[in-house]
Each structure stands twice: as structure tokens, then as C-alpha cells.
Structure 1
Amino acid sequence: MAQGKRALSAQQVAALSDNGTHRVDNQLYLQIREQGTRSWVFRYSRNGKTHWIGLGRASDVPLSRAKELAVVERAKLVNGGSPIEERRAVKESLRLERQVQSDVPTFAWCAGEYIEGHRASWKNQKHIDQWESTLRMYAGPVIGKLPVDQVTVDHVYKILKPIWLTKPETASRLRGRIEKVLGWAGAKKYRAGENPARWQGGELSHLLPAIGKVQKIEHHKAVPHAEMRGLMADLRKLESISAKALILLILCASRTGEIIGARWNEIDLDAATWIIPAERMKAGAEHRVALSSEAVKLLKSMERTSDLVFPGPRGKLSNMAMLQCLRGIRGTGETVHGFRATFSTWARDETDYPRELIEASLAHAVGNAVEQAYNRSDYLAKRRSLMDAWAAYLAGKGQRPT
């Protein structure tokens, strides 16, 4: 390092604005990042390798103090010490001391407490299951048993890196969930300092590419409506509860959660209407389903052995049961959710029913906020005609409906 360069004054340091690392004094630099954060770093070389040591944020440490800290680090070098190794030794000592003396809970325990505390505010069991499964599967092996105050950016990076490019949506949600659990732990005073899972302004944004730059939007693969008659014929040959659930899902253009959570007391077979409560709907609003004559026939043929229409071995039917049934018939990658797109495409391409009826059948909001406020109708009677036409088409009986 050249010693002849003059040190910068406080005024000159304050004027620095370009992203990068700027020399301020002998071995003392100011690092400016894209988010605008400014921090002091000390630079030294040992055995031909350059090392950088953080000395604190510029907002917390004034220039005069940063110079003093740089003098301390230079003294260590003169005495043959290694600043980085000394810091590592101190951190390891503190870590071991915390393990022996601290009663700080593990990350897994904190995650469980966070989920339990927010369970009542989440709209469906599927959301809760996803929280539990992603944290257990991805975070658990790395930090599950670790005291929550010892979770670092390195840990979070280790969790996210394997799936950041291959499963970007899962990775993004997982990062957010880890951030919230660590934020909860901070609020409970189980840990202090910055949240290592934070993205905006956090260190992760320097280690991983932005999700928006790598994520490819992939729609749920759907069975073409021209092939639905053959599929329905194959499903009707099966007697399994999952096959019957899938048939009703297709006939009603419903979502998986709506079907597996369906209860007999929600269904009026005489009125051919199924009322799904708000807590099980994606939009959080009650939805009336117009049951076609085929749907009513299916439901009347089923034995009632539970409050649930489609009970499973451990209560309600598994989220995967209908997908496994579909895969057994077609191994071409279509999804259960894709049947909603199949219905929508058929209705738009093969019928003259208006858009608002199709969207209402899918429990989608139609129009802007003002239109929704004044239009209180859900078009149930008209939707019944559409769903009867869909059922007839699936059975091979339909002409072009209007």
C-alpha cells in the first residue's frame, strides 16, 4: 500500500457517492453499496492474499473513530498477529460460551411458535402446511437445531442457494418465511442485530441474483378440452375416493382445497347448490357453486361415512391424492389446478357465454372495485346453465352451447 497518498478529510468522505470501495487513509476504506449503505473496511495483505475487515457502519462510527480502529488493526499486524484469525477466535469463544450458558431457543422452536401465533390469521390449512413443510424440509437440516441467535447470512445462503435458480418461487417464499421467524425471535429478544434473511438492503442481495431476473413464469399445465371426454371416461371406471373427488373438481371447476375440505352440510342436493365458506376460498369470500345434474348424480351415489364429502385415511383427503390419480391415467405432466384453465378455455372458445359468467364460475372477481361494489349478483341461475353445458360436453352429449 502506497503511503504517500493523502488522507481524505471528513468533508471529502461525505462527498463520496459512487458505489465501490474508496481509499480514505492508510489501509482504511469507505465501502458504498448499491442500497446506499456506507461502511468502513480495513485492508491488509498476508501471504500474498488480500483481506478485508469491517469496522462498522459510517452512520455509527465517525471518521475519527474509524482511523483509531485502523491503527489498532495495524498494530496487530506489526506484532505478527492476524486480525481475521483473532476475530474468528473471539467469535468461536463467544459461540461456545453461548452454547454452554444460554437458554436461547432453537430456530425450529421459534418457527413453531411463530406459526402457532399466526395460525388464526391464515385463511386455510394449506397455507399452514406449506409454512411447516418448507421450513422443515429446507431450513431444518441447516439451522433447525441451531440456537436462533446464531443464525447468520452464511446459514441462510446455504439454505437458499441450491433452490434459488431451480425453484425460484419456493426459494423466495422460504426466504420470506425465515425472515419473519427471525424477526419474531428478535422481537422476543432471543437475538439481536440485523436480520440475516432480509433482502432489501441486506447482504443476501449481494450473494444471490434478484428472483425477478431468474424466475420464469410457468402456468399450470392443462389437459386440452378436446381430450377431456376420454379422461372423464377413464375416471368414471375408477371407484377410488380420489377419482370421485377429481371428477367433482372438474365438473365444478374448483380448486383442490375447496374439494378436499368439502362438507356435506355445505351442499344442498335438492337445490343443486354448494356453498363454500369464505375461509376456504382463495379470495376470502363465500362462493356458491351451481351443481350440474352430473355433479348432483355423483354426490347422491356416494356413501356418507364422515362429515367430509371426501374423507381420507388420516381425516380429509391428501393434497396429492387427486394429482396421483391424474398421473395414473396421464403421465404427461398436467396438474389438477390446470382443469380450471381447461374449463375457461372451453367456455371461451366453444361457447357464447359472456366473460363475467365464466369468471364468476371460477370464483374470480369481475370488473374494477367500483363495479364490484355495485354489482352484488353472482349470476347463479345463469351459471347453472353454463355448468350443465360443461357437464354435457364432458359426457360427449354437448352441442355448441349458448
Structure 2
Amino acid sequence: MSKKNLTDAGVKNQKPPKEGQEEHFDLRLPGFALRVSEQGTKSWIVFYRIGGKQRRLTLGRYPALKLSDARKEARAALDQVDLGIDPAEEKKLKKRKALEQPNNFEGVAELFIERYAKKKKRTWAEDERVFKKYVTPYWGHRPLDTITRSDVVALLDQVEDDHGPYMANRVLATIRKLLNWALAERALIEVTPIVPGMSRGKEVKRNRVLDDDELKAVWNAADEIGWPFGPFLRVLILTGQRRNEVAGMRWDELDLEAGLWTLPAERNKSERIFEVPLSDMAADIFKNSPRIGDYVFTSGRIPKTGDGKPRPISGYSKFKTNLDDKSKVTGWRLHDLRRTVRTNLSKIGITEHISERVLNHAQRGLDAVYNHHDYRDEKRHALDAWADRVGIILKGDPGDKVVKIHG
């Protein structure tokens, strides 16, 4: 045991004992010490007396917990002792509470997102949005085991009336997954109230493709909408990529000199690195975009919680309503732009297997197992040809004047 004024440099350079462990007490704060083991592990501890007995509280390990922060925690613990509170018991109580499973729907939904969805679903943010917008306002404080089949029916009726059968089925699928997880993995309920046959009719497979006049109107409406959703929309059109993948685009994924956007595996549906060659028209959008933080498409708004940095865009519904109003094009979704791009790639003569790779669709069979060619040049040729076609559409040439390009 030694006593000295603990400093950052001294703690960093403190050598371990030959055997066992030793403690180095801080002269600035009585009871506060650095414990070093013979293996070199360094931990922060604080000794105190309460109820006539000496106790010890481990605050954390160095360097994960810095000296200045460890001193603050030690001082806070000693302040609790002065009030007759045992900080070690308080710490145990907090741990027990953290391990307690929530009972109401809102708490279970948060637990589901943290412990399941974020680890296993790339679309976890959409699940979280569904809960907050469509479910929690009605079931938030309800104990999970009190939610009945009739409650589910009533909720789906409400969603269907307000937002249509498609969204009602999305809500059903999301709460079904949560309830199955709560049943099988958390033992929070004994039975799920969801049974077969609760979906709101068979969904019709979508086949909406924007024609040339509609595409032109939507493109031009982007000017009126402005940053960030206007450029975001145009990138969707020029690349044919998925909405969330474009919205979450980061500047460090772009190489504008090479004209390439590289999507990391964890950010795209294929779960592999995917390259999107950028046409000159697409690259110009990025070159003329403001840089506000790490994300390309951001309003610059900083959320109250988090790392204090601007987040990527959200609020697609409001944007889409505004877009429909300005373009006068209705009855379509942002995802229909992918179908529109795919259809036009065929129109201009791009072969099927290249068109599918441009859209990053999953490859099947032996091709998926053995063919690992990146098709960068072929995809670049296809997207350059598509950008040329967009340019022709914007100039107002008739839609039937399509120049086929071998791809």
C-alpha cells in the first residue's frame, strides 16, 4: 500500500507487483485508490465505513474509466456515505433493477429493439417507428399479458381505417414478431393473442411504374422541395437503390473522383459490400451538396439524445405528401422508383443479369455460390446509359424514342 497524488501519467506507467495485488491511495481524496494486480489489471476502488464496518466499492477498470471520472464517482459515493447510504448496496440494487424485465408494452418494445431487432434486423429502425407511431399510443402502459385478441383486432381496424390495409399488415407482422419473441425467448407471456387469419386481405403485388411524363414531373418537383429531400429523390432515381440505403449514405462511402459509392455489408440487404458506380449526373448532385456532419442527406438537426451529431433524414411521409402535391403525380411509393429504373434498364437494352445486379438483387443458385465478379464496369455502363435516358426524358422527347444500348 502506498499513498501519493495520483496523476494520469503515474497511473498509466504504474508497474504491476511481482505477485498478488497492491493499492495506491490518492492523497487528494481519502479512501480512493488504484488497485493493480500482478497481471497488470488496474481497477479503481473506494473504501469507506458505514454502520461501523469498512466496505469497498469497485468503480471500474482503467483505462476504460479515466482518473478524473473515477475521482468524481468516488466523491459521489462518499457523499452517499455521508447521507447514510451504502453505495455498494445502491449499485447492487441498480443492477437488479436493470435485469428486471419490463411488463408493459412500451418497455417490452424497447427491450425487443435493443436485445433482438438491432442485432438481427437491418430494418430495426422501421420496427421502432411502427411501435412508436401505430402501437404505443394505444398499448403503451398496458401489461403485455393483458393484451387480448380483440385488442389486436381493434388496433388493426384503427390502422386500416387511417392508413390502409397494407400498413395494417405491416403493423400486424411487427407486433407478431415481438409477441413471439416475448413468448419464446423472454417468457413474458404464456400465449400470444395473434392467430392465423388476422391479416387484412391478400395484398396485391405492386406493379406501379412511373411513365416518362410522371418521372419528369417528380424530378422537377425536387427543385421546389430543395435540400435535403430534393437531391435525395434524384439520387434514388439515378441509382435505383433502396430508400434507407440512400438516406443513410455517409460521405466516407463516396469516392467522387472515382465516381463510386461503396455500400458496406452491414448497410445493405445483400449483406455484402456493394459498389454503385455514379454517373456524372449523380456525382454532380454530391459535388453541389453541403457537407453537414457524417451523413450526406441530413437536415443538420441534432437530436436531444445521442452523440450530438446531425442524423440522416427521416419523415418520408411528410416529404412524399409534399412531393405529390407539387408534382401532381399520385398513387405511387418511393420503392416504385426501383421498379421504374429496372423497367427502363430493360427498355434501353441492358441485359437482365446486369440490371438485377445494378439493383443489388440477390443472386440465386450456382451463380450466387461461384460467381464473385463485381461487374463494376458493366454496372457503370448501365447507370450511365440510364442517366442519358433521364436526360432525354427531362428535355421532353417522346417516351417511345428509346435508343437501345447493348449491355
Q: Distance in 1 between matches of 2:281 and 2:186?
A: 55
Residue 405 of structure 2 aligns to which amino acid in structure 1?
P
Give 1:270-285 correspondences, 5 Å limit.
270-285=257-272
User: Residue 194 in 1 paired to residue 191 in 2?
Assistant: yes
Residue 115 of structure 1 aligns to which amino acid in structure 2?
I
1:232–1:395 Cα contact (<8 Å) kept:
no
Q: Secondary structure at the match of 2:261?
A: strand
Structure 1 unaligned segments of length 5 or more: list them.
1-102
Residue 110 of structure 1 aligns to which amino acid in structure 2?
V
Give 1:124-163 correspondences, 5 Å limit.
124=122, 127-163=123-159
User: Residue 303 in 1 paired to residue 290 in 2?
Assistant: yes
For residues 84-138 of structure 1, give each alpha carbon's deviation from its aligned partner in whole angstroms, at most 9, with x where no partner exists.
xxxxxxxxxxxxxxxxxxx9721221222122111432443xx223322333344
TM-score w.r.t. the length of structure 1 is 0.63
User: Residue 258 in 1 paired to residue 258 in 2?
Assistant: no
Cα 1:241–1:147 change in 2 (3 A) is closer
**In the alignment, which of 335, 358, 363 is matched to residue 361 of structure 1?**
358
Shift of 1:218: 4.3
The aligned residue for residue 61 of structure 2 is none
For residues 336-359 of structure 1, give each alpha carbon's deviation from its aligned partner in whole angstroms, at most 9, with x where no partner exists.
22121121111212x222111111
Shift of 1:161: 3.7
Q: Distance in 1 between matches of 2:280 and 2:358?
A: 16
Q: Distance in 2 between matches of 1:256 and 1:104?
A: 33
User: Residue 175 in 1 paired to residue 172 in 2?
Assistant: yes
2:247–2:313 Cα contact (<8 Å) kept:
yes
The aligned residue for residue 111 of structure 1 is 109
Shift of 1:299: 1.4
Q: Distance in 2 between matches of 1:163 and 1:237?
A: 32
User: Residue 383 in 1 paired to residue 379 in 2?
Assistant: yes
Structure 2 unaligned segments of length 5 or more: list them.
1-100, 303-310, 396-401
Q: Secondary structure at the match of 2:262?
A: strand
User: Residue 352 in 1 paired to residue 374 in 2?
Assistant: no
Tell me which moved more, 156-165 or 239-248: 156-165
Give 1:278-357 correspondences, 5 Å limit.
278-312=265-299, 313-314=301-302, 315-320=311-316, 323-324=320-321, 326-327=323-324, 328-349=326-347, 351-357=348-354
1:272–1:291 Cα contact (<8 Å) kept:
yes
Shift of 1:381: 0.4
For residues 266-323 of structure 1, give each alpha carbon's deviation from its aligned partner in whole angstroms, at most 9, with x where no partner exists.
1111111100112221222221001001111221122322211111234211251653
Give 1:226-237 correspondences, 5 Å limit.
227-229=214-216, 231-236=218-223
Q: Which 4+ residue blocks in structure 1 deviate beyond 6 angstroms? A: none
Q: Distance in 1 between matches of 2:290 and 2:388?
A: 24
Q: Distance in 2 between matches of 1:319 and 1:283?
A: 25
Shift of 1:379: 1.4
Q: Distance in 2 between matches of 1:278 and 1:306?
A: 22
Shift of 1:232: 3.2
Residue 282 of structure 1 aligns to which amino acid in structure 2?
K
1:156–1:196 Cα contact (<8 Å) kept:
yes
Residue 155 of structure 2 aligns to which amino acid in structure 1?
I
Root-mean-square deviation over aligned CA pairs: 2.9
Shift of 1:324: 4.3
The aligned residue for residue 29 of structure 1 is none
Q: Distance in 2 between matches of 1:352 and 1:287?
A: 23
1:251–1:390 Cα contact (<8 Å) kept:
yes
Tell me which moved more, 303-312 or 145-154: 145-154
Q: Distance in 2 between matches of 1:400 and 1:226?
A: 20
Shift of 1:243: 0.8
Q: Distance in 2 between matches of 1:347 and 1:190?
A: 50
1:222–1:335 Cα contact (<8 Å) kept:
no
Q: Distance in 2 between matches of 1:384 and 1:104?
A: 51
Cα 1:325–1:291 change in 2 (3 A) is farther
Shift of 1:142: 4.0
**In the alignment, which of 232, 239, 248 is matched to residue 245 of structure 1?**
232
Shift of 1:382: 1.6
1:229–1:393 Cα contact (<8 Å) kept:
no
Shift of 1:178: 3.0
Q: Distance in 2 between matches of 1:289 and 1:188?
A: 41
1:225–1:343 Cα contact (<8 Å) kept:
no
Q: Secondary structure at the match of 1:289?
A: strand
The percentage of aligned residue pairs carrying the same residue is 26
1:123–1:280 Cα contact (<8 Å) kept:
no
Cα 1:141–1:242 change in 2 (3 A) is closer
1:257–1:319 Cα contact (<8 Å) kept:
no
1:260–1:310 Cα contact (<8 Å) kept:
yes
Q: Secondary structure at the match of 1:275?
A: strand
Q: Distance in 1 between matches of 2:289 and 2:323?
A: 20
For residues 48-101 of structure 1, give each alpha carbon's deviation from its aligned partner in whole angstroms, at most 9, with x where no partner exists.
xxxxxxxxxxxxxxxxxxxxxxxxxxxxxxxxxxxxxxxxxxxxxxxxxxxxxx
Cα 1:330–1:109 change in 2 (3 A) is same
